[in-house]
Each structure stands twice: as structure tokens, then as C-alpha cells.
A and B are shown apart, each in its own frame.
Chain A
């Protein structure tokens, strides 16, 4: 099993550009989430999903969009990149919110200039 795969690993964007961070899991997990991690801030939840077709906002959703058309994929779209979105982004998935922990991807390091 590949686990949770995030692409790309590194990305540099110019202010105002848009892009999609890809996240795929092959474990048939229903629950998927996107986090950003900034120095000294821990992980902050951007968006999460409890199944295909169902998404909800986390703590810091502004400037980001998600959709969940399949169980396997949960892409994160940056609509118009801003320097404040410079961060490390992690995707995570879980079989169950009650009994199982989350499996994390290795992250995407994004710099917006």
C-alpha cells in the first residue's frame, strides 16, 4: 500500500496564481483532511471530509477550496495565492473518526512570492 500520497512535494507560486495540491489514499478511508503547518503554530485544519461528496470547513478555510468526488482523492485548490499561504500542507486520512488515528502524507512545501 502507498498510504497517503501528496503531490507535488515542493512548489513556488507567484502571488495571484492558482494551483491544486493533490492528495490520494489507497486505504479506502472515508475521512480525509487538509492541514497547514506554520512555525510555532502547530497544525491548523483547513477543510475536511467524512466521505465522498461531503466536505466541511475547518479553522482556516479562506482562500482554499476542496471537493471529494471519489473516496480516494481529496484535492486542495488555492484560488489566488497570497504570501500568507506560504506553509507546509499535510493531507491525512482515517478509516474511522472514533477508533482509528489518521495516516499523514509527507507534505507539500509551498512558497508564495
Chain B
């Protein structure tokens, strides 16, 4: 079974709006990562947040982590049509060092 579950499964917004995606996981982690996948392409690493961090920023991305609730959220501010992609959370560590486990992803569509 997969470690992470993303919510919503699909999100449709207008350009300029903010997009928020959530991820829940089941077991203890060392870090949580977010990836983007454009249609038919490989995954691209966006941001990593360690278990002792609560919030992290990178450009228009903001990630939060709540280890007590075993959940994370990815916020993309001022979305652009080019942000249209699938977004995946992935968890690493805990008792399985070196193992990165993915959720099923959120499909984001940003309309121009």
C-alpha cells in the first residue's frame, strides 16, 4: 500500500489564483518531498521538508508539515498555465532508510 494520499485528486483553477494540495501519510518520516510531473514526462523535484521543519518556501511554493497530524500541504501562489501538471508527495525515511514512497497525486489544471 502507498504511504501518502493526496487531496484533492483533481483541482481546476484560473490563472492568478492560488492552488493548495494536501498530503497525508501513515508512518514516521525523515522528510517529505513534493514533485511535479508534466504529461508524459519524468518527475521533477520541487521541495523537501525535513521532519523537524514546519514550513518551507521556494519561489511561489510554500510547503507546511504537521508531523502530529501526519500531513503536509503544498501551496502554489499566483498560478500560471505552465503550472498545469500532476503533483505528488513522497515520504522518505522512518524505518526504511533510502526508500521514497509516493502518493497517488493531484492533477492541477490552470486555465489561462
Binding site for B on A (CB under 8 A): 31, 33, 35, 40-45, 48-50, 56, 58-59, 90, 92, 94, 97-107
| B contact residues, range | 20 to 34
Show the binding face of B for A, using Cβ within 8 Å: 1-2, 30-31, 33, 35, 41-48, 50, 88, 90, 92-93, 97-105
The interface residues of chain B lying within 8 Å CB-to-CB of A59 are: 1-2, 101
Minimum CB–CB distance from B59 to chain A (whole Å) comes to: 15
Q: When A31-B98, A42-B104 are in contact, do A100 and B48 touch as well, CB less than 8 Å? A: yes
The answer to whether A97 and B30 have CB atoms under 8 Å apart is yes
20 contacts between A and B (CB under 8 A): A31-B98, A40-B104, A43-B43, A44-B102, A45-B99, A45-B101, A45-B102, A48-B100, A50-B97, A56-B99, A59-B1, A97-B98, A99-B50, A101-B46, A102-B45, A102-B100, A104-B44, A104-B45, A105-B42, A106-B41
User: Which B residues are CB-close (under 8 A) to A92?
Assistant: 43, 100
Do the beta carbons of A106 and B104 come within 8 Å of each other?
no
Chain A proximity of B106: nearest CB distance (Å): 10
CB distance from B14 to the nearest CB of A (A): 26
Question: If the complex has contacts A48-B98, A50-B98, are A104 and B43 also in contact, measured as CB distance less than 8 A?
Answer: yes
Residues in B with CB closer than 8 Å to A100 are 48
Q: Which residues of B sit under 8 angstroms from A45, Cβ to Cβ?
A: 99-102
- Cβ B99 vs Cβ A48 within 8 A: yes
